[in-house]
């Protein structure tokens, strides 16, 4: 098996000439033959001025390269695209698969024996791992790490659970224009990823549980020296992996690793997006994520981490309490500790867990934040292929609720009418948003956190049952049913709901039902007309997305990117 510079030669019909030419060009950068004979470790560069969550990437790249060279390898940095949540239209999810293709093909095409994936913002780690699993070259992940917390008027603040909470106060007229402007400068006080248990933090924890990163890699703050040392150590481990040619991503991403990741996802009070991304990654490894098995874990695995939005603290507090290794120690009896990782097994990972006396952020199994897991899977005539609710961030008294549907046809419709004082809505109604799924929006935006109508918010209503085929930011909270599958734009039953219908949510029974009889639903289905194609979707990436994106239960990956083994 060729290695280093001899790997994957450009096709000129003469391998000797291909290598000669490759060397001639790379020598233009001043590399010596000694350097070029070393194992090559690729290092992804996802830095962008549009991506403050990756603002520390240059420092991490330098540290990874140092680690690679200390271990006798040759680091080669290369760019892939960069996606930030707030700078991606229509949504970052729309671009995730593009980034995964970019990562897969660049890792495969270029001569590297191993790769260090540096990333952090919500879609980046999923995209990188999806690509890495498909390319199947040894890969280790260095998350960019969470921001440190902010402060405002003596209160600790964090992106973006508090962004939503304070914006809701502003909407309700309890915080004026000037103060909300001040707050916008304090919610994200450093580079790094959102420091609550949102999607970025969730995915960093999940990556650690899958065995793709070193201990503590998920939670050390982005600006701490310890993160730089983790990057250096990851560079050294990558050289080992390059020399051995293992473990490859497919050796790590197995059924047992996926189950470990799902347990950790439940125990951290993780983002609902985690389940979509894990389904997509699993699809690349030829594994189908079983939503019912995930739901079964929600009854077995409690939420143990006291972090927003399910609890009170932030990622830096989680780190100071012992991070993912300490959490996994608490879950040792249900995790498969023999699952391999980039540097041994998960047992080695748990062994190094620091014991922090008096810490209250990582709870014991006897004293959980929530006796059940973070999220569960609902089914019913509204969601034949499933829907998800984050029960740990919902209002307990709304977990069983029947109400009248108030339907919004699209996100635009919702934006136009939600705050209209004439909107016929009460706190007991169920807000319904459709055409916000993978195809409908497109890109399955995080619009599932429907705002409380202004007149109800002003009257003190903080939560209502809200349902949609959209996603929700992992930083959000409320009694919100998401990922209704199939989506309405794909002919799912959500398309048949009318304002005034009754909807029943029963989380203990795991059901979401439209209380309309079958004959009437059949009549409505016969009249259903699919929404018109999105402007521009007759060509290019938009066409590709619209033609090939799968539903939420399959991870919204493109159908042609899934492993053929499935
Ligand atoms: Fe990048 Fe939150 S916006 S992690």
Closest ligand 1 atom, residue 193 Cα: 4
Residue 53: asked if its preceding bond is cis (omega within 30°), the reply is no
Give the percent of the chain with pLDDT over 70.
100
Predicted confidence band of residue 566 (pLDDT cuts 50, 70, 90): low
The β-bridge relationship of strands 502-506 and 511-514 is antiparallel
Site residues for ligand 1, CB cut-off 6 Å: 53, 84-85, 121-122, 159, 193-194, 198, 200
| Ligand 1 centroid, distance to 260 Cα (angstroms) | 24
CA of residue 297 relative to chain centroid, distance: 19
**CA 159 to ligand 1: nearest atom:** 2
Q: Separation of 503 CA from ligand 1 center, angstroms? A: 34
Identify the weakest region by mean pLDDT among 44-58, 238-252, 282-296, 552-566.
552-566
pTM of the model: 0.96
Residue 124 confidence (pLDDT): 98
| 85 alpha carbon – ligand 1 mean position (Å) | 6
Per-residue pLDDT, averaged over 365-379, amounts to: 95
* Of 434, 445, 411, the residue nearest 556 (C-alpha): 445
The string of pLDDT tens digits covering residues 274-296 is 999 999 999 999 999 999 999 99
Cβ neighbour number for residue 62 with a 10 Å cutoff: 17
CA-85 nearest atom, ligand 1: 3
User: How many other CB atoms are there within 10 angstroms of residue 461's CB atom?
Assistant: 16
Q: Name 261's Cβ contacts closer than 8 Å, sequence gap at least 6.
A: 206, 209, 210, 278
Give the C-alpha separation, 19 to 110, whole Å.
13
> What CATH code is assigned to 376-531?
3.50.30.80
Instruction: Over range 319-340, report the average pLDDT.
Output: 98
pLDDT of residue 193: 98
Residue 477 banded pLDDT, cuts 50, 70, 90:
confident
Taking the centre of ligand 1 as the mean of its atom positions, its distance from the CA of residue 201, in whole angstroms, is 9
271 Cα–ligand 1 center, Å: 13
Quick one: angle between helices 199-210 and 323-330, nearest 10? 70
| 94 Cα to the center of ligand 1, angstroms | 16
| 264-289 burial code (b ≥16 CB/10 A, e <16) | bbbbbbbbbbbbbbbbbbbbbbebeb
Spatial CB neighbours of 476, under 8 Å, sequence gap ≥ 6: 161, 164, 309, 393, 446, 449
CB 494 within 8 A of CB 382: yes
- Nearest ligand 1 atom to the CA of 160 is 2
Which of the listed residues 83, 123, 144, 159 should we mutate to test ligand 1's pocket, taking the one with most ligand atoms within 8 A of CB? 159
Q: Is pLDDT of 482 > 70?
A: yes
Q: Determine the pLDDT at residue 473.
A: 87
Q: Which of 46, 48, 53, 271, when mutated, tests ligand 1's pocket best, judged by the most ligand atoms within 8 Å of its CB?
A: 53
Rounded Cα–Cα distance for residues 2 and 8 (Å):
8
pLDDT band at 350 (very low <50, low <70, confident <90, very high): very high
Atom of ligand 1 nearest to the CA of 86: 3
| pLDDT of res. 564 | 78
Mutate to test the pocket of ligand 1, among 88, 95, 122 (most ligand atoms within 8 A of CB): 122
- Integer angstrom CA distances of residue 191 from 52, 148, 149, 304, 366: 6, 8, 11, 27, 36
Give the torsion sign (CA, 14, 15, 20, 26).
Answer: positive
Extended strands (E) in 359-476: 376-380, 383-389, 400-408, 430-433, 465-468
**In this structure, which residue's CA is closest to atom 3 in ligand 1?**
85
- Which residue among 47, 82, 84 has the greatest number of ligand 1 atoms within 8 angstroms of its CB, and so is best to mutate? 84
Chain mean pLDDT for the chain: 96
Separation of CA 122 and ligand 1 centre (Å): 6
Residues 114-160: pLDDT tens digits?
Answer: 999 999 999 999 999 999 999 999 999 999 999 999 999 999 998 88
State the DSSP string of 317-366. HHHHTTHHHHHHHHTTTTS-TTSEETTEEHHHHHHTPPP-TT--SB--TT
Task: Look at the chain and count its residues.
Answer: 566
Q: Which of 194, 205, 277, 309 to mutate to test the pocket of ligand 1 (most atoms within 8 A of CB)?
A: 194
Grouping H, G, I as helix, E, B as strand and the rest as coil, residue 462 is coil
pLDDT band at 164 (very low <50, low <70, confident <90, very high): confident
CA of 194 to the centre of ligand 1 (A): 5
Question: CA 217 to CA 221: how far, in whole Å?
Answer: 9
Question: How sure is the predictor about 365, in pLDDT bands with cuts at 50, 70 and 90?
Answer: very high
Q: What distance in angstroms lies between residue 404's CA and the mean position of ligand 1's atoms?
A: 35
Task: Tell me the pairing of strands 511-514 and 74-79.
Answer: unpaired
Cα–Cα distances in angstroms (integers) from residue 33 to residues 26, 106, 292, 380, 392, in the given order: 10, 24, 55, 64, 57
Nearest atom in ligand 1 to 120's CA: 4
392, pLDDT greater than 90: no
What's the DSSP call for residue 25? H
Q: How confident is the model at residue 1, as a pLDDT? A: 83
Q: How far is the CA of 158 from the centre of ligand 1 (A)?
A: 11
The answer to whether residue 565 scores a pLDDT higher than 70 is no
Q: Where are the domains of the chain?
A: 38-148+190-351, 150-184, 376-531
Measured by CA distance, the residue closest to atom 1 of ligand 1 is: 121
Q: How far is the CA of 92 from the centre of ligand 1 (A)?
A: 10
Residue nearest to atom 2 of ligand 1 (CA): 194
Q: Tell me how far the alpha carbon of residue 211 lies from the centroid of ligand 1, in angstroms.
A: 23
| End-to-end Cα, the chain, rounded Å | 28
| Position in ligand 1 atom list of the atom nearest CA 200 | 4
CB count within 10 Å of CB 225 equals 11
Residue 170: other Cβ atoms inside 10 A: 15
CA of 200 to the centre of ligand 1 (A): 6
pLDDT in tens, 440-457: 999 999 999 999 999 999
Q: What is the largest CA-CA distance in the chain?
A: 76
């Amino acid at each position: 098996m060729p290695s280093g510079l001899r790997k994957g030669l450009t096709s000129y019909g003469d391998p000797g000439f291909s290598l000669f030419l490759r060397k001639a060009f790379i020598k233009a950068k001043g590399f010596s033959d000694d350097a070029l004979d070393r194992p090559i470790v690729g290092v992804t560069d996802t830095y962008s001025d549009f991506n403050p969550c990756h603002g520390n990437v240059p420092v991490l790249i330098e540290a990874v390269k140092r680690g690679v060279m200390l271990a006798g390898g040759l680091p080669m940095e290369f760019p892939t695209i960069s996606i930030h949540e707030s700078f991606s239209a229509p949504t970052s999810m729309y671009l995730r698969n593009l980034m995964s293709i970019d990562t897969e093909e660049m890792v495969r095409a270029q001569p590297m024996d191993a790769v260090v994936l540096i990333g952090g913002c919500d879609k980046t780690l999923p995209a990188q791992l999806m690509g890495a699993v498909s390319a199947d070259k040894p890969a280790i992940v260095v998350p960019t790490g969470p921001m440190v917390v902010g402060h405002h008027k003596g209160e600790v603040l964090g992106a973006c659970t508090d962004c939503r909470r304070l914006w809701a106060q502003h909407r309700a007229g309890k915080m004026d224009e000037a103060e909300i402007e001040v707050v916008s400068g304090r919610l994200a006080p450093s580079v790094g990823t959102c420091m609550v248990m949102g999607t970025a933090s969730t995915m960093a924890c999940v990556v650690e549980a899958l065995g793709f990163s070193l201990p503590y890699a998920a939670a050390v703050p982005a600006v701490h020296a310890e993160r730089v040392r983790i990057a250096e150590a990851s560079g050294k481990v990558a050289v080992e992996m390059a020399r051995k040619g293992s473990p490859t991503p497919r050796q790590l991403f197995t059924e047992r690793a996926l189950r470990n990741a799902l347990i950790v996802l439940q125990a951290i009070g993780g983002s609902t997006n985690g389940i979509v991304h894990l389904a997509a990654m699993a699809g690349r490894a030829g594994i189908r994520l079983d939503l019912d098995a995930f739901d079964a874990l929600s009854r077995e695995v409690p939420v143990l981490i006291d972090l927003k939005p399910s609890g009170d603290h932030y990622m830096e507090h989680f780190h100071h309490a012992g991070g993912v290794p300490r959490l996994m120690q608490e879950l040792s009896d249900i995790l498969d500790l023999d699952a391999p990782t980039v540097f041994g097994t998960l047992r080695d990972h748990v062994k190094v867990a620091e014991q922090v006396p008096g810490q209250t952020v990582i709870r014991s199994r006897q004293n959980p934040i929530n006796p059940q897991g973070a999220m569960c899977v609902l089914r019913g005539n509204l969601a034949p292929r499933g829907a998800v609710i984050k029960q740990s961030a919902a209002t307990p008294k709304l977990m069983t609720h029947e109400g009248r549907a108030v339907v919004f046809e699209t996100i635009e419709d919702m934006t136009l009418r939600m705050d209209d004082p004439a909107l016929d809505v009460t706190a007991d109604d169920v807000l319904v948003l459709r055409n916000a799924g993978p195809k409908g929006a497109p890109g399955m935006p995080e619009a599932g956190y429907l705002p409380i109508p202004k007149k109800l918010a002003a009257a003190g209503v903080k939560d209502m049952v809200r349902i949609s085929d959209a996603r929700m930011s992992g930083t959000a909270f409320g009694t919100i049913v998401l990922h209704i599958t199939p989506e309405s734009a794909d002919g799912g039953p959500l398309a048949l709901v009318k304002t005034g219908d009754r909807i029943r949510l029963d989380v203990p029974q795991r059901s979401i039902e439209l209380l309309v009889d079958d004959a009437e639903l059949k009549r409505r289905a016969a009249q259903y007309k699919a929404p018109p194609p999105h402007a521009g979707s007759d060509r290019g990436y938009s066409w590709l997305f619209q033609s090939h994106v799968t539903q939420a239960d399959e991870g919204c990956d493109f159908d042609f990117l899934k492993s053929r083994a499935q």
